[in-house]
A and B are shown apart, each in its own frame.
Chain A
Amino acid sequence: MYEQMVTARYYEERLQEEYLVGKQPAFDISAGPIPGELHLAAGHESSGAGVCIHLRDDDTVTAPHRPHHIAIAKGVDLKKMTAEIFGRETGLCRGKGGHMHLFDPDVNFACSGIIAQGCPPAVGAAMAAKKRNTDSVAVAFLGEGAIDQGGFLESLNLAAVQDLPVVFVIEDNDWAISMPKDRVTDVEDGSRRALGFDMPGERVDSDDAVAVYEAAERAIMRARDGNGPSLIEVQVHRRMGHFMGDAEAYRPEADIERAKQRDSIERLADDLRAHGVEDDELDEIRERAHERVDEAIAWAKEQPEPDPSTAYENVFTNPPAQAATDGGANTSDASSDGDEGGDQ
């Protein structure tokens, strides 16, 4: 768990460096080797690690727009994920998904960048597990800003009424972009929403990684044992802007400082030391993690850009024969490099 957390933190630090390449001095979102938006999760690590450590490859996880720490903890292929973030051909999604839309069927991991919309598919995965009589479970992660969405509330109800093996994990970092929690909800403890659906709800502090681990264990075992869904809210911290390039003018200085002072990773290291783990061992774990991350990033950067012609692939798994004429004619128009055939 410590290793996953350290990996996630260092991964985000390295991504941040790489993201800023080509975007300075004047920040231009479309410049540099990593284009598009980038949402980093520094301060969320113990929630991803503390939950996913209880999961197997056949358990499903759906993540929101801030997915890297969860993906790492779930065991998503780090190299391919990095190549995807760099928009490369060998990326998890062949360069089509990008950082908010990572899909790894090997470990049953998926994302959605639309708020709360990962919840219904997690319910579906749990439904499949129940129908097939397996003991696999599904976990949907989402931010506290997402819990006002119908997609979340409807999912809680469906999971509850059908006793499905699904766990909802709210990562409460107090902010939804520029909107502080108290401006958008009167209920400070998001886990209380479980009450309305007659399922267990529990709130824990991410600073205490062990508490996250234990709460997640209870919820996931309950689901695995066929006792239905539960809800966990983890108080995390957003140590950065909402996305890279967010100047956070709306966020009082003191709050940022406070968020930076509390750190689940340091606290877990202290706990481990208190339990007799040697510094050498912790250093070793950290070095191993850093090496793995550096290797993934170096590998990703060497990967080729996708060939433009692949833009037309994967719209369907089973492309209709007619697409060859329709899309094809259009394809050759859009990509033509000279001999225009004209429209048909």
Chain B
Amino acid sequence: MATESRDFTEATETDRELTMSRAMVEAIAWEMRENEEVFYMGEDVADYGGIFSSTTGLLDEFGRDRVMDVPISETAFLGAAVGAAQAGMRPIAELMFVDFFGVAMDQIYNNMAKNTYMSGGSFSVPMVLTTAVGGTYNDAGQHSQTLYGTFAHLPGMKVVVPSTAYDAKGLMHSAIRDDDPVVYMFHKRLMGLGWMPSPPGPKTGVPEEDYTIPFGEADIKRHGSDVTVVTLGLHVHRALDAASQLEDDGIDAEVVDLRTLVPLDTETILDSVRKTGKLLVVDEDYQSFGVTGEIIARAAEGALDDLSAVKRLAIPDVPIPYARSLEDEVNPGTDDIAAAIRELHE
């Protein structure tokens, strides 16, 4: 189980800045050194170091037994991770793009997620499923989805979505130490890849030592009094940009970064909404039946009387299109977020 969080302010004040991918890898390497039972498997994770640099350098330190390239057979190796986890090991298995979950979903949602429950608690499945999410580089319908809602909807998996290097490292430590299956979804645009430039936000100070971030603690990335913006992943940074654009107009937006979807920190959302009375939810996943609806429902259940206006921005229920003009249209941008905040503020 996740241990205590270090003091956040002190930790982020370190002057050692890392990209999100380096921070993730640092946590994985630390856990692998500490615990022989931790190993990593996936496609192109050994020599390539992960298509999105999620395993850079691990092969050199740990060798092929513990950093394993596997055949392109997600059903087999994700299911094998379930089996190894049930045998007491702590596998980390990478699904290269979240969009590929379809070929292996049975292993994910019928075994990985349900075996603990169906066995009446006699088995646990302490594995991490890492996977890349997100668009913004025009890779079309089969390579650009986020699918946060899909995994959070099906019971039995904890779902983690870091937006900064600091969070990425702490959440990875927690994920590997957790006795339950954790789906760790990293946004490609935040990893700090040379070939896919990140916005400035995700590269943060990261302490050298290990630290955990408990699941179920949202993080207020910007304090404000006028409108609450609840979001996650890449859109934390877009929301922060939008909020700073609005400063000059005297609109003070609060940005809540969910960090984990399962468990979800309802309290932080409600506290913020009680303060501002206005809620905008921004998500890069499809709109209907997803994260935006869930957050708004919880806000309505818990703080209906305090709410005077609600709005959501998400992918409007179309598959992610290829052409730039089309993808820009459906993926909520900074300007869309700023406009929505302004509208709520009026």
Enumerate chain A interface residues (CB-CB to B < 8 A).
26-30, 35-37, 84, 87-88, 91, 93, 95-98, 100-101, 112-117, 145-146, 148-151, 176-179, 183-185, 245, 249-250, 305-312, 315, 326-327, 330-331, 333-336, 340, 342-343
Tell me which residues across on chain B come within 8 A of A150, comparing CB atoms: 73, 75, 103
How many B residues have CB within 8 A of the partner chain? 52
Tell me which residues across on chain B come within 8 A of A342, comparing CB atoms: 343
Choose the segment among B23-31, B43-51, B155-163, B269-277 that binds chain A (4+ C-beta atoms closer than 8 Å): B43-51
B328 contacts A by Cβ under 8 Å: yes
In the docked arrangement, what's the CA distance between A95 and B325, Å?
9
B133 contacts A by Cβ under 8 Å: no
* Chain B residues touching A, majority SS: loop
Picked from B103, B195, B288, B325, the residue with its CB within 8 Å of the CB of A305 is B325
Contact B195 A343 (CB under 8 A): no
Contact A327 B70 (CB under 8 A): no
Apart from the given pairs A91-B323, A306-B325, A342-B343, 16 other A-B contacts in the complex at a CB distance below 8 Å: A29-B137, A35-B324, A36-B140, A37-B143, A87-B138, A98-B139, A100-B142, A112-B142, A115-B72, A116-B103, A146-B72, A149-B73, A177-B43, A311-B329, A326-B288, A336-B339
29 A-B residue contacts at CB 8 Å?
Answer: A30-B137, A30-B138, A87-B323, A96-B319, A96-B321, A96-B326, A97-B322, A100-B140, A101-B142, A114-B100, A148-B76, A149-B73, A149-B103, A151-B103, A178-B44, A184-B69, A308-B325, A308-B326, A311-B329, A315-B317, A315-B318, A327-B318, A330-B316, A330-B317, A334-B329, A334-B336, A336-B339, A340-B343, A343-B311
In the docked arrangement, what's the CA distance between A88 and B326, Å?
10
Tell me which residues across on chain B come within 8 A of A336, comparing CB atoms: 339
Contact A245 B195 (CB under 8 A): yes
In the docked arrangement, what's the CA distance between A334 and B316, Å?
8
* Chain A residues touching B, majority SS: loop
In the docked arrangement, what's the CA distance between A29 and B75, Å?
30
Minimum distance in angstroms from A289 CB to a CB of chain B: 27
Contact B72 A145 (CB under 8 A): yes
B330 contacts A by Cβ under 8 Å: yes
5 nearest interchain CB pairs? A98-B322, A95-B323, A87-B323, A35-B138, A308-B329
- Which residues of chain B (28-77) have a CB below 8 Å from chain A? 43-44, 46-48, 51, 69-73, 75-76
B200 contacts A by Cβ under 8 Å: no
